[in-house]
Amino acid sequence: MNLDNPASLDRNDPEGEISRRGKAYRNWGRWGEDDVLGTLNFIDAAKRKQAAALVREGEVISLSQPFDMNGPQKGWRRRTNPVHTMLDTGTDAERGTQGFPHGLGGADDVISMPLQCSTQWDGLGHIFDHGAAWNGRRAGDVVTSDGDLVTGIEHAAAAPVSRGVLLDVGRHLHPETGELTDGYAITTADLESCIEAQRSAVGQGDIVLVRTGQLSRAKRDGWGDYAGGPAPGLSLTTAGWLYSSEIAAIATDTWGFEVRPNEFDVPAFQPLHQVVIPNMGLTVGELWDLDQLAEKCGERGRYDFLLVAAPLPITGAVGSPINPIAIL
């Protein structure tokens, strides 16, 4: 069976389709039994030197959505938008109620939010496959009420610095709008044709950013069902490409990375996650804002850059908010 062919997908057998790909594209043991980084191991010093050499103009672009209460979250699985609260304010300083000497005043604040409510990385402890976590460990031995005891996101704090490659699939397939329709499944052929059209290349250790254009639509028309609803995204059949290309990580401008609804006629939920995170060890990013980057890359006709996308070293976390920076 050709696992890369969307036409061969059995739409009534998600378990079988996931299992076949999980086994075919499994990286367990590839970097040793104690590994905590998965495909981020593909990034080495030579790759980072190559990435640094891509900086020409010194232009810096943030790829993060805002972290505020106006975000897309609706409370699914207790995912809410960030709640920002001031602990000390300028009013307190004016009133002299802070207790500081010689007229000193200040402001202080706190934020409460799920770690995956806005631009973020999924850690390797985020998804399991039939009770198995990354590298074949038992899920219950990895993530407990104390957090991810093995592959916590803190281990990746300095890892995601590499050559970034933007694949503007939205503009490639729909140049008139730059946006894919909700429910469109991006295929391996789409990815490869986009790479060819952009005269780019994707190789070992790269971090691939896939722009669908859905966030552009949400900015214009309102959030709607952006968080968890129908969306363009990667087809389950791209798992082979994600594996063979040996990329270090991938991120999209959507809530869930893969196409939604998922590609089955029976109940299914995020099958590509189930293949690539616990089996392949692939780090996945979601809710990235790739619009300004796409404009700049399109103007230059160059789609690779230095990418710095370090997670916060939150001990035991299975994901992390980030402010990814592309440097052109």
Give residue 266's pLDDT: 98
- Measured distance CA(145)–CA(323) in Å, rounded: 27
- Measured distance CA(280)–CA(272) in Å, rounded: 11
Give residue 203's pLDDT: 96
**Is residue 13 classed as helix, strand or coil in its secondary structure?**
coil
157 pLDDT exceeds 80? yes
CB-based contacts of 84, cutoff 8 Å, min separation 6? 68, 69, 109, 110, 111
Residue 143, strand partner residues: 148
- For 262-313, what is each residue's pLDDT tens digit? 999 999 999 999 999 999 999 999 999 999 999 999 999 999 999 999 999 9
Q: Average model confidence (pLDDT) for the chain?
A: 97
If phi > 0 it is left, if psi is from -120 to 50 it is alpha, else beta; for residue 3 that is alpha
Evaluate the omega torsion of the peptide bond into residue 261 and state whether it is cis, within 30 degrees of 0: yes
177 pLDDT exceeds 90? yes
CB-based contacts of 297, cutoff 8 Å, min separation 6? 166, 168, 303, 305, 328
CA distances from 189 to 52, 195, 219 (A): 30, 10, 28
Give residue 193's pLDDT: 98
- Quote the pTM value: 0.96
**Is residue 274 classed as helix, strand or coil in its secondary structure?**
helix
Q: How confident is the model at residue 197 (pLDDT cuts 50, 70, 90)?
A: very high
- Measured distance CA(109)–CA(91) in Å, rounded: 14
Which CATH architecture group holds 7-76+114-327?
3-Layer(bba) Sandwich (3.50)
- Measured distance CA(289)–CA(217) in Å, rounded: 12
Domain ranges of the chain: 7-76+114-327, 80-112
Q: How confident is the model at residue 326 (pLDDT cuts 50, 70, 90)?
A: very high
4 pLDDT exceeds 80? yes
Residue 148, strand partner residues: 143
- For 231-261, what is each residue's pLDDT tens digit? 999 999 999 999 999 999 999 999 999 999 9
Q: What share of the chain is helix, strand, coil (3-state, %, to 5)?
A: 30, 20, 50
- For 66-96, what is each residue's pLDDT tens digit? 999 999 999 999 999 999 999 999 999 999 9
User: Tokens 């968080």 belong to which residue?
Assistant: 227
User: Tokens 């001990």 belong to which residue?
Assistant: 315
Q: How confident is the model at residue 16 (pLDDT cuts 50, 70, 90)?
A: very high
Query: Which is it for the CA torsion 69, 71, 75, 79, positive or negative?
Result: negative
CB-based contacts of 134, cutoff 8 Å, min separation 6? 28, 35, 38, 124, 125, 142, 151, 277, 278, 279, 281
- Cβ contact 211:169 at 8 Å: yes
1 pLDDT exceeds 90? no
The distance in angstroms from the start CA to the end CA of the chain is: 42
